[in-house]
Structure formats: structure tokens, C-alpha cells
Amino acid sequence: MMNRRSWMRWLGWVGCCWLTMGVGAPLAAAQESKVLRYAFEAAESGFDPAQISDFYSATLVAHIFDGLFEYDYLARPYKIRPNVATALPEVRDNFKTWTVRIRPGIYFAQDPAFKGQRRELVAQDYVYSFKRFFDPALKSPGYTSVSQLGVLGLEALRERALSRRLPFDYDSDVEGLRALDRYTLQFKLKEARPRLLYSLTGGDGLGALAREVVDFYGDKISEHPVGTGPFKLST
């Protein structure tokens, strides 16, 4: 007979989400050897990085979306290394200007939102994803943390939407967050921030989304995470 703890653990596994490894791999093939089952001890808040408010969802999302950098935990001492970036950031102006170059040839998982086309990760995807934290309509739990980075222009863009009661303008250019070209991303900050690199590390919060995926799923985006990471969500 199961004790209470064993019973609850069994229920957790039954109600878990599946992460299947391999972009676009058929689920049947993935189930043989490439499925990670992750049990939640509480209900998820969704799988949209800008709207996550719980630890379990963030843990899962970190394996779906790619941050610019990642931790190398096997190094002693541990260190930060490039993930989708080609190298660590180029830093100028006393830690106020940060330039990141993204590796070409990284693709999002296959999804109906892309209409059968392969979709490459580009710098503009990070511009769009960062802006989503400032969209008042999303009421992002991560807004305060991202706002504290002091990226020039993002707060003003948010205030414009609030004061005029208009939809957030994702197409408006801001000084502090730009795609200089297809693979080059630049941040400009109000103040020196030597530790910005740590904020740019990991995919649980600041991973890249493709705008067409958000447009395709609308208010159901939290149920359809589509990233460039090693896993995709199956239920």
C-alpha cells in the first residue's frame, strides 16, 4: 500500500508535462529515448517567459528557450559562457553599452506558426522578447526586474502606452535596445551596470520568442512555448 508521500509523488508523475528532445522529432520516436518527464508539485502559471510567476514553469521553460549566455557549472569556479552568442559581450562606455553577436544557423522548433518554413533565430527576436516585459497588457511578473536594468527608452515606451491607453508599440525604435543587423544586438543603459551579463544568462526569463508565434497563438501563447532550445513541450 502506498503511503501519502508515495501517492502524491505518483499523482505528480501522472500529471506531469513532457519535454521531448529534438527539434521537430516525431513524438513516437522521441518517446523511445528522448523524453524528459518533469513533475510539478503545484499548478503551472504558463510557459510564456514574460508571464511566468512560479518556479516549476520557469524550470521547464529554461530548457525550451535559449538565453544569450549560459552557466558552465562544471568549470571550477563556475563561469558564464556563450550560448547562442558567438562570444561574451563587447562592453564600452563604462559598462553602459553592451554588444552581443548571435551565431547564425540556429532555428526555432517546427511549429504551425511558421507555415512550413524554417525560422532562424535573429537579433530582432531578442529585441521583441525584451519589449514584451514592458507591455502593460501582459502584466508581466518580471517587469520590475527587467526595468531595473535601465535599458534606455523601454520605460518611456511603456508609459506612452499607459498614458494614451493604446496598444504597446512593438515597432517603435528605442535607443537602448536595437538589432544593429541580423545577428548583432546592442543594449544601452542609463547607468553603468557591470553585472548585466548575469541578467542576460539563462533562458527561463530572457529567452527569445518569435513574434509570429505570439501573433499566431494570441492569448493562448502560454500554452504553446516555441523556442530554439533542446526541448519542446508535449502534453
Rounded to whole angstroms, the Cα distance separating 171 from 163 reads: 18
Output the CA torsion sign for 86, 222, 205, 133: positive
pLDDT of residue 190 exceeding 60, the answer is: yes
Q: What is the mean pLDDT of the chain?
A: 86
Q: Are 233 and 47 in contact (CB under 8 A)?
A: yes
pLDDT of 25 above 50? no
Quick check: 19 pLDDT over 60? Answer: no
Residue 71: strand pairing partners: 80
- Give the whole-number percent of the chain exceeding pLDDT 70: 85
Note the pLDDT tens digit of each residue in 197-221: 999 997 777 899 999 999 999 999 9
Give the cell for residue 33.
529515448
- 208: closest CA among 192, 186, 229, 223? 229
The pLDDT > 90 percentage for the chain reads 69
In sequence order, which ranges of 15-122 are alpha helices (DSSP H)? Answer: 27-33, 55-61
> Residue 204: what pLDDT?
72
